[in-house]
Structure 1
Amino acid sequence: MTPRRRTSPVKEAPVHPIIVVPFESDTSPALLSRLGHLDVPERWHAVDRSAHAPHIVAVPGDEDDATDWTGAALVSARPGTAYLKIVDAVGDVQAAVAAVVAHARDQGLAQVKWEGWTASSEDAAAAGFNPLRAPLTPTDDATGPATGDATGLAPGDTAGPATGYVRWLHETMVSEPPYYGQTTHFTCGAVTALLAQAHAGTLSPDALDRRAELTLWRDATNFLACEPVGLGVAVRRAWPSTPVTVHLDVDRPVMLDHLPDSEQEWRALLQRESRTQAADIGVPVDARHLSLAAIRAALGRQEHVLLLVSLAAMQGFDVPHWVLCHGVVPGAVVIEDPWASAAAGDTWVDAHLLPVADASLDEMATVSADRFRGAVSIGHVPGPSS
């Protein structure tokens, strides 16, 4: 395919020509190896990244030869999101990264991330990137998605980089929670609740571990998934002084359509019991549709929103999955996703501080064949200095 050449204005750096070309299975390792880091082409081709629109952003050395590059970066991103991720930058690293930043600005994106496979902290700082907090789970412990018996998928085998970096492309400040990846198929709801409390300062990050993950899941589960009312009840029980509201715009059991009738019946009974418990302990169940504007307003009040989404757009399979909404930037909501897809080259760097475009998140949050919206909002508890 013929590379596409253009020039992008970048305020903080000189204007450079930029080449953008799709990254495909036959992208020449020899071409890339000339730029250094002989291990990089092997890593780039080690997984099928095609679901995340991989492409190379390069800086040409000779304007008459589109294949003569002085620097290049492999870039990808989850669909429906508002960021680009640099897997590696090779050759003239600073020029390549500046080209990616210009490329992201051209698309109106909120953020560029950089995986730390070959990036040094010095190079990242020089390019305007800040270090991401290291994940609290070991990078080789990431697991399969979301809702267990709803997915039928095996745990993943991701081994992400030990470090990662981020550069926001706007002046909005986004507070960074700790990152913790779920260690089972089915504990995403519990993990997002724990992350919300750690971000709020209600829970020490040191207490965010597998014991806490499984303990909260055990109180919230509808076997094996966590449905909205049961999750809200479990959060209130774990933190009695924390304001909790469940948002569920249907008055029926949910997340059961994948099961045979005999399996649906007893889980439906448990969901009805969760509603009784919610009434008993004072957890309101709001039956109104939770709009994206309402989510943004809640985040503006320093609340956290545990949001049930479908992974169809971001990962290619339509299963319900809990994410944590914790910040907003122009045009996007910032989430924590406790799961990453190793098979697509996805790592914790993608899943952490992830901006999702407003329209995309609105569509993702209309879940499954049931076409419902479920969420749990956790109120802000003012501290002594608030």
Structure 2
Amino acid sequence: MPSHPSPPARSAVVVPYAPDAPPPQLAPLAGPDRPGGPAVPERWNAVDRSAHAPHLVAVPGADATEWIAAALVTARPGTSYLKIVDALGDVPAAVGAVLETARRRGLAQVKWEGWTTTAEEATALGFTPLRTPPGAEGPDSGYIRRLYGAEPAAPPYYAQTTHFTCGAVTALVARAHAGALPGEALDRDAELTLWRAATNFPACEPVGLGVAVHRAWPSAPVTVFLDTEDPVLLDHLPEAEQEWRAALQRLSRADAERSGTPVDPRRLSLPEIRAALDRGGHVLLLVSLATLQGFDVPHWILCHGTVPGAVVVDDPWAHAPAGDTWVDAHLLPVPDASLDAMSVLSPARFRGAVHIAPASTGP
């Protein structure tokens, strides 16, 4: 396998980025005569990036009091990547410093939003263009530099269009990735149709989602893993609201039995998830967003690949007010320990997953 070219790495300075008190060394790199002009600091400060640990990775010049390059870098908590929002000044030097920072931390990848770079520049520095999703918020382009070698073909990225259709979207993207659904069929009609078949109003609980996937693609070997027999995702609702939704979940289990959709009462372990993905399967996994985004909301993500120490997922939702974009959410590496913790939901301490095996191997 040919190695990617590496930009020159120099001794870097890493400092937190505070919008109200930027370091004076930054001003000469982000002036109106520089690439991007005033749009760069305006973009940096237009959102509250504090949840994603914004910091500057800078390269000092011969005079240590000056910088020749700097990059604004962020990342979702509990993940294994860094994201370059913009690189300023000597761009190869800035990118090289970010790559070296990521390697020292043992991270799986570096991403780069395409606000002020081009495909030619990013490719020359060893990055691969990401396929830009139609209609997603954020930059018109994005790039990835994998620090662990190659990985299987990426699924298409599709951003959910509502606050409650994450489960349906992960299933649709999984089927598109498996070749069972054409990419152009990933649209809002398909999203809402599958959600309507799976919903517990408005969320999709594991059994209902698994049954809907099995009915939509009868040849797909689907297994639901849910290590509780109690209704789930109802604790935030008033008691009267819980009752009829619990009844719907009982009906989902009856539907699973009638349709031949297996419901395994075991907790699907992280080694089992990795093994399923390595065999070419997909796992729709229910997680809390407390780690990734800072608020404890149940959410479905798609697990579709593995790298050393991490599972590669696609998240159909990006939190734009925090500077989070599709570049963060697509091909997102989550360390095993982080994924293990965020996918055990409180207060019942359960894990919900839908495993879709390759058609030739069975569930």
Correspondence for 1:22 = 16
Report 1:124-163 matches (<5 A): 124-136=122-134, 138-139=135-136, 159-163=137-141
TM-superposition CA deviations, 1:118-150 (whole Å, max 9, x none): 1111110111000001113x12xxxxxxxxxxx
Report 1:1-386 matches (<5 A): 12-28=6-22, 31-35=25-29, 36=34, 37-38=36-37, 39-65=39-65, 68-136=66-134, 138-139=135-136, 159-382=137-360
Which secondary structure state, in structure 2, belongs to the residue aligned with residue 306 of structure 1? strand
2:219 and 2:74 mapped to 1: Cα distance? Answer: 42
For 1:24, give the aligned amino acid.
Answer: A
1:352 and 1:275 mapped to 2: Cα distance? Answer: 32
For 2:175, give the aligned amino acid.
Answer: Q
1:307 and 1:117 mapped to 2: Cα distance? Answer: 32
For 2:255, give the aligned amino acid.
Answer: Q
1:347 and 1:314 mapped to 2: Cα distance? Answer: 13
**How far does residue 289 in structure 1 lie from its aligned partner after superposition?**
1.0
1:104 and 1:375 mapped to 2: Cα distance? Answer: 31
Identity within the alignment, %? 66
Deviates more, 1:164-173 or 1:205-214: 164-173
**How far does residue 268 in structure 1 lie from its aligned partner after superposition?**
0.4
TM-superposition CA deviations, 1:160-186 (whole Å, max 9, x none): 001100010012423210000000010
For 1:259, give the aligned amino acid.
Answer: L
Correspondence for 1:153 = none
1:197, 1:203 within 8 Å by CA — same for their partners in 2?
Answer: yes
Distance 1:174 1:109, change over 3 A: farther
1:226 and 1:253 mapped to 2: Cα distance? Answer: 12
Give the TM-score normalised by structure 1: 0.89
For 1:315, give the aligned amino acid.
Answer: Q
1:174 and 1:365 mapped to 2: Cα distance? Answer: 24
1:29, 1:41 within 8 Å by CA — same for their partners in 2?
Answer: no
Which secondary structure state, in structure 1, belongs to the residue aligned with residue 244 of structure 2? helix
1:192 and 1:63 mapped to 2: Cα distance? Answer: 51
Unaligned runs of 5+ in 2: none
2:7, 2:125 within 8 Å by CA — same for their partners in 1?
Answer: no
Q: How many residue pairs align between the two structures?
A: 352
For 1:358, give the aligned amino acid.
Answer: D
Which secondary structure state, in structure 2, belongs to the residue aligned with residue 191 of structure 1? helix
Correspondence for 1:142 = none
